[in-house]
């Protein structure tokens, strides 16, 4: 039997995954979320990496009763639903999506938030897997025994608007917004009706698209340059976006670049822009 995998970095290549696909504790998750305007496909009809399971961010791993989209579920619900996928505490998780690198970092961050670190994102996702000539098949539906996954919630990993308000005047805590520069500046309207335009006071802008090249995360050297241009290594970073998805791309990039003390503002601009008592800036 081959040695169980231990993932010591947050990003793996398709070549690495292919070489390690027979590891006894490997679980591959498809965490595809439709982009704005796209429809969610039925998982039974989805082609994916062999033996991959569907990690349903939209319907299972978001609180569908919450007022804002993509709100994280409670640790208890997360634990219960992950166990239904047969995932155990000693598993190694590799997460991909069918856009390249888009929604997979959200699933990666949720696992990190729940205290699980043996997890990585597949760089380039399913498109890169196919480009490399590796085989695909329909996603399987797990029907085996429950896993023994245990949530150990890190309350510092996910912020709500109250925690963001508390750090607005702290120069060592930097909010970085992953939206486009036009949305950040307030010169383009928000896609969600009723939202104010602009950004959180004192926040900085790093569009997530600047971290992606042809569906893959840019190199560690390039990531370091992107972040070092905005902040210093001692800063605590809080990432925001439209609804908590692409902020996690920045979190992934920052971790690859060597930053620590990272958090994601879960409600992001959908929440902040909806609450008229909260301050905003625009350029």
CATH of the domain at 262: 3.40.250.10
Cβ contact 29:12 at 8 Å: no
Q: Which residue has the higher pLDDT, 234 or 72?
A: 72
In a domain, 5, yes or no: no
What is the C-alpha to C-alpha distance for residues 101 and 80, in angstroms, rounded to an integer?
A: 26
pLDDT at 124: 98
Q: What is the mean pLDDT of residues 252-270?
A: 96
Residue 29 has pLDDT above 60, yes or no: yes
Q: Could you say which of 107, 138, 169 is where a domain stops?
A: 138
Number of H helices, E strands in the chain: 9, 14
Catalytic status, residue 241: yes
Which residue range is the domain that position 114 belongs to?
11-138
Cβ contact 236:173 at 8 Å: yes
170 and 239 fall within a common domain = yes
Question: Could you say which of 95, 241, 247, 250 is catalytic?
Answer: 241
pLDDT at 229: 86
pLDDT at 44: 47
In a domain, 282, yes or no: no
Cα–Cα separations (whole angstroms), residue 242 to 53, 124, 247: 27, 22, 8
What is the C-alpha to C-alpha distance for residues 208 and 211, in angstroms, rounded to an integer?
A: 5
Tell me the pLDDT band of 205, cut-offs 50, 70 and 90. Answer: very high
20 and 126 fall within a common domain = yes
Q: Could you say which of 84, 110, 138 is where a domain stops?
A: 138
Enumerate residues 6+ apart whose C-beta is below 8 A from 30.
Answer: 43, 46, 48, 49, 52, 53, 54, 55, 95, 96, 97, 98, 126, 139
In a domain, 184, yes or no: yes
Q: pTM value?
A: 0.95
The rounded percent of the chain whose pLDDT value lies above 90 is: 87
């Amino acid at each position: 039997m081959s040695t169980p995998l231990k993932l010591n970095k947050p990003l793996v290549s398709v070549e690495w995954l292919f070489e390690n696909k027979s590891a006894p504790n490997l679980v591959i998750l498809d965490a595809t979320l439709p982009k704005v305007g796209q429809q969610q496909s039925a998982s039974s009809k989805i082609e994916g990496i062999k033996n991959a399971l569907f990690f349903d961010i939209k319907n299972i791993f978001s609180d569908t009763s919450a007022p804002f989209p993509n709100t994280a579920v409670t640790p208890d619900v997360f634990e219960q639903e992950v166990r239904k996928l047969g995932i155990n505490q000693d598993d190694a998780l590799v997460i991909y999506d069918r856009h390249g690198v888009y929604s997979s970092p959200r699933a990666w961050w949720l696992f990190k938030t729940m205290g699980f670190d043996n997890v990585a994102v597949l760089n380039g996702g399913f498109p890169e897997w196919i480009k490399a000539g590796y085989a695909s098949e329909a996603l399987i539906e797990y029907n085996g025994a429950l896993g023994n996954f245990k949530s150990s919630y890190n309350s510092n990993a996910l912020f709500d608007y109250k925690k963001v308000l508390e750090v607005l005047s702290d120069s060592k805590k930097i909010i970085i917004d992953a939206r486009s520069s036009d949305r950040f500046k307030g010169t383009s309207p928000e896609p969600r009706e009723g939202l104010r335009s602009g950004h959180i006071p004192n926040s900085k802008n790093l569009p997530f698209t600047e971290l992606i090249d042809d569906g893959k995360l840019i190199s560690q050297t390039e990531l370091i340059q992107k972040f070092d241009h905005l902040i210093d290594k001692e800063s605590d970073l809080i990432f925001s976006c439209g609804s908590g998805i692409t902020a996690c791309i920045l979190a992934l990039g920052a971790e690859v670049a060597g930053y620590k003390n990272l958090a994601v503002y879960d409600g992001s601009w959908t929440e902040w822009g909806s609450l008229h008592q909260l301050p905003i800036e625009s350029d």
